[in-house]
Amino acid sequence: MARVLWFPLTVGMPCWRVREAILQKVSEYEQHAEECRKMALTMKEPMHKKQLEEMAEAWAMLAKERTKQIEKSAEAAVISAP
């Protein structure tokens, strides 16, 4: 059974707008990851540095997962195109 992704804010939007909205989120996630990495470099307390590095990794993983979603939906669109 196919997994359906639900984007409540994008209902009724053209597919290219949905893709654009998702790409914007990917960019935001990547920015958050970079901010966490930069802050980690300034931390003197090892625990704080580690926490920020873990946060950066979590943001990077979210960006990667969203990118995979875009790639899968693009593949599905090509396969199902008439």
- Could you tell me which residues come within 8 angstroms of residue 70 by beta carbon, excluding any fewer than 6 positions away? 19, 22, 23, 26
What mean pLDDT do residues 23-40 have?
A: 95
* pLDDT in the model for residue 75: 61
Return the residue matching tokens 């990667």: 64
How many structural domains comprise the chain?
1
Decide if 3 is inside a domain.
Answer: no
- Residue 4 — very low, low, confident or very high, per pLDDT cuts 50/70/90? very low
Question: 60: domain range?
Answer: 14-80
Residue 64: inside a domain: yes
Identify whether 56 is part of a domain: yes
Please check whether residue 72 lies inside any domain of the structure: yes
Residue 5 covered by a domain: no
Q: Is the pLDDT of residue 39 over 60?
A: yes
Pair 69, 22: CB distance under 8 Å: yes
For residue range 7-23, list pLDDT tens digits in order: 455 555 556 676 777 78
Residue 20 lies in a domain: yes
Classify residue 18: in a domain, yes or no: yes
In a domain, 44, yes or no: yes
The encoded tokens of residue 28 equal 């935001």
CB atoms < 10 A from the CB of 29, how many? Answer: 20
pLDDT tens digits for range 43-71: 999 999 999 999 999 999 999 999 888 77
